[in-house]
Amino acid sequence: MADQSVVGAAGRMATVDGDRSARARLVILLLCLALALSVLLSLTSGASDASTVGVVRDWLTGAVPGDAALSARDRLIIYDIRLPRVLLGVLTGAALAVSGAVMQGLFRNPLADPGLIGVSAGSSLGAVAVIVLGSTWLAPFTLALGTLALPLAAFAGGLAVTLLLY
């Protein structure tokens, strides 16, 4: 590695061999552009006649009277059905990324995952309990929750293991 001592009277730091900050900025910029493109494609893909250009123009200019960029039906489909779904997907992905980074930082292990502390096993235990005991001991639980019983039991099992450890 190159020395990080101060170079000259200007007080600038010498560059370090292997400095990847410019590359990291470029990768982050490209990933942000890919995210924006995938959001836009998710909004315009489907049975609606909305075009990508029409959606962008409608979003930038707003609903201008007399502007036929999007019909009322297309606005309803895009803004009331697709946009919440896409935003929820983006926020869920961001939350999973942050929780994974926090777990990796907490254990100082770049390979850390929920299986490291047993969250996956606890979730599996909750799911298997509903599958095996759902018609006998857990019948009131499964009848009250219906199809939500299995994912809620898996979530409760993972949460119980997490609370038990901390």
**Amino acid, single-letter form, for residue 34:** A
Closest to 114 measured CA to CA, from 66, 67, 165: 165
The pLDDT of residue 64:
60
The pLDDT of residue 157:
96
**Low-confidence residues of the chain, pLDDT below 50?**
none
> Buried (b) or exposed (e) across 86-120, using 16+ Cβ within 10 A?
beeeeeeeeeeeeeeeebeeeeeeeebebeebbbb
The pLDDT of residue 8:
54
Q: Residue 112: what are its φ and ψ, rounded to 5°?
A: -65, 140
The pLDDT of residue 68:
63
The pLDDT of residue 94:
96
- 46-77: per-residue pLDDT in tens? 888 788 888 888 888 876 665 666 788 888 88
The pLDDT of residue 134:
87
Task: State the pTM of this model.
Answer: 0.68
The pLDDT of residue 78:
87
